[in-house]
Amino acid sequence: MRSDLDHLMGERNIDVLVIEGPDGMGSANPAFNYFVKGEHLVGLVVKKRGEPAILIHSPWEQVQAEKTGMVLVSRDRWSIREIEQDFPDPFDATVEHRRRMLADLGVSGRVGLYGTVPIGPFFALWMALAQKIPGLELVAEPQKDVISQARLTKSSDEIELMRDVGRRTCVVVQAVVDFIAAGRAEGDTVVDAHGTPITIGAVKAFMRRELAANNLEDPSGTIFAQGRDAGLPHATGDEAAQLKLGQAIVFDIFPRQAGGGYFHDMTRTFAIGHASADLQELYDTVKGSFEHVLGELEAGGPTIAFQKLTCQYFEARGHETIATKYPIEEGYIHSLGHGIGLEVHENIRFPSTIDSGDVIVPGCVFTLEPGLYYPSRNMGVRLEDTVYCRPDGSIESLTPFPMELVIPLRG
């Protein structure tokens, strides 16, 4: 939680956090959004240990800046116009502007760098600053950095936002199911009321409208993968393909609150009209693994234990897994889940090999997503909820949506 930041900074002997918020990043800048709470603005956050975070913002974005509730400083406090008189090269002027800002704000010592940036200009900027500011020691945390660790545990306010996104994501998935169910069969193809075959592209276009209507941002990369593609975990689906009866369809959707908010991530596997006994069996096995592991999850448990448990469950039922074969293309081929919040993938990993040391802690939110993949049999099944470890250690799914394989056609 945000309130852990000072403690985490102390543990790592970091004096100041500097979080970059350059133009054009939007929701791809979770560290910055964590401070500005999704307000759309360009700026820089400076947080010294034991002090409130300061937002340096454009005077044009005063309205958005005020909504963050942060301590505000206008970047015009350091006149770029004046600096440009002495530093005609725009890059030199940028460095000098930043140098004056950091000097006036007393930024020195061990300074941790965070935020999403274009790599070239910010490498150049910070290398130049490191030469110009005496006593500045840059800290580039490669993994599990201070801000990610704070974000690992969600406050009750954040959980309310995540529950809400979960509910609305389920509304969208239900609408998509209803859209498909309104079709009818013509041979092995699903057609709409006009007799036109329904394509995956049409399903996705419908989904995008429903996401917008529910104030969710369309996640590029939504998976709606049918048949063989369902057996390839990251195939997103062929937009031109028509919906076919009885085929496995993996529908993996991970929208976020519009404007840089929290993500939800869920997957259901469907078959339209009917399912073969083979596919139903595969489905039941994955559903069984999901329920088994969900029941075993507990606060304090190392994530690797649940990854292993899932592998054991599948292996006992005759499926190869990533625990015993690598690279692996069929069977259970990936890890069990990932942390989720302001990023769709964030801290907490369920490592498939070497232990990352991650543990399920009260307040964390992560996905649980076992799956079995058989592209050679033109099928794959994955089931996924976003789940929350409550402060009391109990586990709550944030994905109120049933797991049913077959979508009966009503049209």
Ranges within 261-320 binding a copy of itself (CB under 8 A): none
Q: Which residue lies nearer to a copy of itself by CB, 111 or 275? A: 111
Half-sphere exposure of 47 (CA within 13 A, CB side): 29
- In the list 174, 324, 353, 376, the residue contacting a copy of itself (rule: CB under 8 A) is 353
H helical segments located in 226-351:
277-296, 303-315
383 is a contact residue toward a copy of itself (CB under 8 A):
no
117 is a contact residue toward a copy of itself (CB under 8 A):
yes
SS3 240: coil
- In the list 131, 160, 186, 212, the residue contacting a copy of itself (rule: CB under 8 A) is 212
Q: 279: how many CB neighbours lie within 10 A of its CB?
A: 24
Rounded CA separation 363/149 (Å): 12
Among 20-28, 96-104, 154-162, 273-281, the segment contacting a copy of itself (CB under 8 A): 20-28
C-alpha dihedral (381, 339, 357, 109), degrees to nearest 10: 150
**Shortest distance, position 39 Cβ to a copy of itself, whole Å:** 9
Which residues in the 385-404 window bind a copy of itself by CB under 8 A?
A: none
Q: Phi/psi at 330 (nearest 5 deg)?
A: -130, 145
Contacts of 91 (CB under 8 A, 6+ apart): 124
192 is a contact residue toward a copy of itself (CB under 8 A):
no
Strand partners, 397: 387
Structure tokens that stand for 5 in this block: 């930041």
Q: Sketch the per residue contact string, 139 through 178, with a copy of itself: x for CB under 8 A, - otherwise.
A: xxxxx-x---------------------------------
- In the list 96, 158, 229, 385, the residue contacting a copy of itself (rule: CB under 8 A) is 229
What is the DSSP code (8-state) at residue 383? -
Strand partners, 74: 57
- In the list 109, 197, 259, 288, the residue contacting a copy of itself (rule: CB under 8 A) is 259
- In the list 11, 13, 127, 278, the residue contacting a copy of itself (rule: CB under 8 A) is 127
Q: How many residues bind a copy of itself (CB under 8 A)?
A: 80
Q: Which residue lies nearer to a copy of itself by CB, 301 or 375? A: 375
Among 53-61, 184-192, 241-249, 280-288, the segment contacting a copy of itself (CB under 8 A): 53-61
Structure tokens that stand for 333 in this block: 């081929």
Rounded CA separation 396/217 (Å): 24
